[in-house]
Chains A and B, each alone.
Chain A
């Protein structure tokens, strides 16, 4: 009788532990529903979404203008030609297929950065709104990544020395602020990798076109 009671008691306790463990595990999982996010994270998300939607509205307005320009051109082939030429210029510049110029920042880096650190730096600049990037005169495209080569770091099969220059075209103030914010990437790299990084806003920068052929071989356009 006593053994039976003890077994049932143990079974009950084991079940309770199981249920509580599952609940505890669930509560450790990352919150994904909006309603479960903390206030600070929601505020950041609202700010980011607002900025992104503003960009999307601008892009939509510009593309509608372009569409209207085509429609207005109608049978007048020369006007449509001008619209298309402008479209090619814009998209080639966006992809890195043509050179670009404008204001932005120069980032001079000296130190033993590894490939991850340099890729993080490029990622930070993209996130801060850089429209075009180059690393030691190599234009950075979507697929340009920094890797450890046989002797040095490389980007698009071009060697990078221990000292290199990153150029980013975009809102210079915004780019500087993003890199130099307290606890930001420059602080982290200077502390943990022992690198010296100088960031200079510059009025007139020129970035070359990529030397790579970006036409895909395996990927075909979906009609």
Chain B
């Protein structure tokens, strides 16, 4: 083996050593990050946390049961009002007004053309030093999408099945988004009934282009839209009681 050959072999060995060191360095860094997050996660599983999550689960189940019961009573009421429509003129007229008011208020299930939006957290790995919150869907994003939809002419909107009404808010609570009484998690599916060109109008709306579209692009949030010929949206199931607001209009 001549000196040239030895030098070449030494260079190749140095290259391998460098590559291996680099790979091991990356592995060490990622493993450390992973270990840290595991430690953090393990610290969550305290007995207090277990008790609280069991309590939250019980409350969620109770809420589902209450909503089913409320939907049943609402259906019985609608049935009675429908039955009386044909009986007496005055009663029939008032019950038609009840039906119209329920439709306008979002208390009736509806169908029609419209669009569907699906949005979910980014699949991209959060780069070191960046805020992980940038890569998840925020309540702000859903609000922007809903504002754009209403402005584009939507007549009825649901988010993961929660129908939006006059008292609905979209609120970030920890890692979940609270809509009406439901804690929603991604992927978020927004369905909207409106004019045939709803999707085109939505796509150029300033409320969509202003912030959420930029976040979708910048942080690679999962996002898709689809026009639909026949959507079915459920009625709002929840409290419509007015405790503080007193109607001032005379009934028809």
Q: Measured between C-beta atoms, what is the minimum distance from A15 to chain B in Å? A: 10
Interface pair B44/A97, CB less than 8 Å apart = no
Is A181 located at the chain interface by the 8 A CB criterion? no
Chain A residues within 8 Å of B176, by CB: 32, 45
How many A-B residue contacts, CB cutoff 8 Å?
342
- Total number of A residues with any Cβ neighbor in B under 8 Å: 108
Find residues 136-171 in chain A having any chain B CB closer than 8 Å to their own CB: 140-148, 169-171
Interface pair A20/B27, CB less than 8 Å apart = yes
**Of the candidates B52, B108, B194, which one forms a contact with A218 in the assembled complex, judged by CB atoms under 8 Å apart?**
B194
- Given A39-B49, A220-B112, the answer on whether A56 and B80 have CB atoms closer than 8 Å is no
Interface pair B166/A142, CB less than 8 Å apart = yes
Interface pair A10/B244, CB less than 8 Å apart = no
Of all chain B residues, the one with the shortest Cβ separation from A154 is B151
Of all chain A residues, the one with the shortest Cβ separation from B105 is A95
Query: Bound state CA distance, A145 and B73, in angstroms?
Result: 32
Mark contacts of B125-165 with chain A using CB atoms, 8 A cut-off: 1 yes-contact digit, 0 otherwise.
Answer: 11000001001100000011001001100111000000011
Of all chain A residues, the one with the shortest Cβ separation from B135 is A28
Interface pair B101/A140, CB less than 8 Å apart = no
Interface pair B34/A23, CB less than 8 Å apart = yes
Interface pair B251/A89, CB less than 8 Å apart = yes
Is B185 located at the chain interface by the 8 A CB criterion? yes
Interface pair B91/A59, CB less than 8 Å apart = no
Find residues 47-99 in chain A having any chain B CB closer than 8 Å to their own CB: 48-50, 52-53, 55-60, 62-64, 66-67, 70-71, 77, 80-81, 84-99
Q: Measured between C-beta atoms, what is the minimum distance from B219 to chain A in Å? A: 13
The interface size bin for chain B is: 35 or more
Main secondary structure of the interface of A (DSSP, over half): helix
Interface pair B37/A63, CB less than 8 Å apart = no
Is A107 located at the chain interface by the 8 A CB criterion? no
Of all chain B residues, the one with the shortest Cβ separation from A70 is B80
- Given A28-B37, A55-B238, the answer on whether A66 and B181 have CB atoms closer than 8 Å is no
Interface pair A24/B33, CB less than 8 Å apart = yes
Q: Measured between C-beta atoms, what is the minimum distance from B212 to chain A in Å? A: 10
Q: Which 6 interchain pairs have the tightest Cβ spacing?
A: A41-B174, A98-B249, A52-B181, A95-B105, A127-B169, A59-B239
29 contacts between A and B (CB under 8 A): A9-B20, A16-B27, A20-B30, A20-B34, A30-B121, A32-B186, A34-B57, A37-B175, A45-B174, A49-B59, A55-B181, A60-B66, A66-B77, A81-B94, A84-B97, A85-B94, A85-B251, A88-B97, A95-B166, A96-B166, A97-B105, A99-B249, A101-B248, A102-B246, A115-B147, A123-B169, A131-B243, A209-B249, A218-B114
Name B residues whose Cβ lies closer than 8 Å to a Cβ of A: 16, 19-20, 23-24, 26-27, 30-31, 33-34, 37-38, 41, 44-46, 48-50, 52-53, 55-57, 59-60, 62-63, 66-67, 69-70, 73-74, 76-77, 80-81, 84, 87-88, 90-91, 94-95, 97-114, 121, 123, 125-126, 132, 135-136, 143-144, 147, 150-151, 154-156, 164-171, 173-176, 178, 181, 183, 185-186, 193-196, 206-207, 210-211, 232-233, 238-249, 251-252
